[in-house]
Amino acid sequence: MTPHRSPHAQVAIRVEISRDFEDIAPIFLENRRKDLQTLHNAVSIQDFATLQILGHRMKGDGGGYGFDAISEIGARLESAAKRQDLPPIEHCIGELEDFLNRVAVFYR
């Protein structure tokens, strides 16, 4: 029996960004992957201030690098952290993780 897989698990999320970001986009994405551990830790201790700060940073930085989805997730994360509402926070973290696992960057 094969394990159940999400229908989206294999589908890449194609993001086209300016060639000007070719050197820094991979670093930006790697830093967001590192943020995942910080986000999980913050949830486990209900550190809403850290969650709000990271959400705010993602909201501001994502679009500037061409990753609008990260900005959108960050905005929702920041808002949920302000309300101290864990279920949407956890959902945002899951969305970020899914995005980072599936993003395929193309430069134009």
pLDDT tens for each residue of the chain, 108 residues long: 444 455 555 799 999 999 999 999 999 999 999 999 999 999 999 999 999 999 999 999 999 999 999 999 999 999 999 999 999 999 999 999 999 999 999 999
Burial of residue 96, with CB atoms counted within 10 A of its CB: 0-12 exposed, 13-18 middle, 19 or more buried:
buried
Phi and psi torsions of 34, nearest 5°: -65, -35
Question: What's the distance, CA 49 to chain centroid?
Answer: 17
pLDDT at 10: 76
pTM of the model: 0.89
Provide the CA 86 distance to its chain's centre, in angstroms: 16
Kindly state the tokens that stand for 7. 């229908």
| pLDDT at residue number 1 | 42
